[in-house]
Amino acid sequence: MIKLTLDSVKNLKHKLNAFLNKLLLKRKHQSIDLTLKHHNIYVLPSKFGLIFLCFTFLIFLLGSNYQNNLILLTAYLLISIFTIGILQSYFNLINTQISFIGVEDGIEKTGYLLTFSVMNQNKTYSFVAESGNNITLVDTISSDKKLVELQIEGLKRGKHSIDRIKMVSRYPYGLMTVWSYAIFPKHVYIYPTPLPILSHNMTFFGEGEEQLKDFKHGNDEFFAMREHEIGESLSRVSWKHYAKTGELLVKEFSEYNSGDYIFNLEDIPGDFETKLSHLSYLVNQAFHDELHYGLVLPNKSIPASQGLSHLKNCLRALSEA
């Protein structure tokens, strides 16, 4: 019974958030360049502010019961401080300009990096920019644009809308919570986390003909990682992987030095997600080795090419596979 109740509360909260996002927040907060005004700034007492109000009310009751003007004066003074706090908190954020700068695709482990700028002709004192559990503190800003970077984690592979950013300030006394949202109408891709593969087959397109074969060991082009064998030379050990995992992995090379390298999902061992992680590693390695490579997936095929844009196309195809 308790479980059903908790599920109902979660579903209700999810529906409420969806309603707010669709009807209220997107209309007021969705923009590449957003300026905070009275219609998109929200002000409520913080927990400390509520305690402060209760304490002030008790003092007022005490002064009224005993008809003590000094106690009543103290209550009025506290109410004045609270009112000034409301105004100062509101004017601290008003006219703050928030502009989208860029977003970098990421992987499942680290998430993506969002960059935006903030500025205000009047000084704005510290506030927090947060998205879910990802938080960054923004110090005092002025008329000079200040770049803010927010690393957003906890996403699965795929194409995602950029999470809404919440700006929260409790300046100056912590009595009020003033907040607003920024919703940038952009998308970002989360790639499968690269996972080294010990051995694999590859379709190799030579000049003038195409054939499917296993790689032969050679000394020219890198194509895979395998476990180090006792007594083997340490010259090909990937020390970068050893530093990360503590495992001795040896780089293997192929005899091929020309032609196109086609990575096929069906040639990779493991379950579907593992295959995608292996392919993510292989296309990254092929990019760094400046190979001419392509990709074959169940829902998409990418012809062989090279360069940064080609790498992004391959990784984005893997994220949506």
Sign of CA dihedral 223, 286, 312, 302: negative
**What is the structure's pLDDT at 244?**
62
Please tell me whether the peptide bond between 172 and the residue prior to it is cis, using omega within 30 degrees of 0. Answer: yes
**What is the structure's pLDDT at 313?**
92
CB atoms within 10 A of CB 77: 12
- pLDDT per residue, tens digit, the chain (321 aa), is 444 566 677 677 767 766 666 666 677 888 899 999 988 899 999 999 999 999 999 999 999 888 888 999 999 999 999 999 999 999 988 999 999 999 999 998 888 999 999 998 888 888 888 887 788 888 888 888 888 888 888 888 999 988 888 899 988 888 999 999 998 999 999 999 988 876 555 554 444 334 333 434 444 444 455 565 665 656 566 666 666 666 666 665 544 444 678 888 888 888 889 889 989 988 988 888 888 888 888 888 888 888 889 999 999 999 988
How many Å apart are CA 139 and CA 99, to the nearest integer?
17
3-state secondary structure of 252: strand
**What is the structure's pLDDT at 206?**
42
**What is the structure's pLDDT at 116?**
92
**What is the structure's pLDDT at 133?**
79
**What is the structure's pLDDT at 123?**
82
Where are the domains positioned within the chain?
A: 28-189, 202-319
**What is the structure's pLDDT at 202?**
53
How many Å apart are CA 259 and CA 255, to the nearest integer?
12
